[in-house]
Amino acid sequence: MKELIVPAEIERLYEVQAFVEGLMEESGLSMRMINRVSLVVEEIYVNIAGNAYFPGEGDVVIRCTIGDDHSLELEFEDQGKPYDPLEEAKPDINLSAEEREIGGLGIFLYRSIMDETEYRYEDGKNILTLRKKEE
């Protein structure tokens, strides 16, 4: 497992993506998987950076584990406001953009890309764990 700790600032997104993408590339994962997981990383990190500590400041811990079978586990941890994204209602993607409520598409995106998504609030920390096997 590799770990990166960064301030929850949107400007740090590229550092977070480079960390995860670099580990995936080193492990020989496919470009398709790297690109898809990178979208997920962006969505989750931007949401944490923009919302978890507002109006204060704090850190985000990103942990990445890649198994010998090319399985990936990502964990995002913050000490911001408790927030379980998995409790959000699924958006009705059959509605037009004008009819649909704002928000929720990012959560839909990473739940559809990743094989498993789990959330827990433990010791004052939001912990979101995502898993995916190589396609």
pLDDT digits (tens, 9 = 90+) for 20-59: 999 999 999 999 999 999 999 999 999 999 999 988 999 9
Task: Name which of 60, 83, 66 is nearest 133 in CA terms.
Answer: 66
Place 110 in a pLDDT band, splitting at 50, 70 and 90: confident
Is 11's pLDDT higher than 60? yes
What's the pLDDT score for residue 135? 75
How many domains, in total, are found in the chain?
Answer: 1
**Residue owning tokens 């990502």:** 74
- What pTM value is reported for the model? 0.88
What's the pLDDT score for residue 89? 57
User: How far from 97 is each of 61, 92, 105, 106, CA to CA, in Å?
Assistant: 33, 10, 11, 14
Is 119's pLDDT higher than 80? yes
CA dihedral sign, ordered 53, 46, 14, 109: positive
The tens digit of pLDDT for each residue in 76-103 reads: 999 999 999 878 655 555 544 455 455 5
Domain holding 88: CATH number? Answer: 3.30.565.10
The residue range of the domain holding 59 is 2-133
Query: What amino acid occupies position 6?
Result: V
Higher pLDDT, 112 or 129: 129
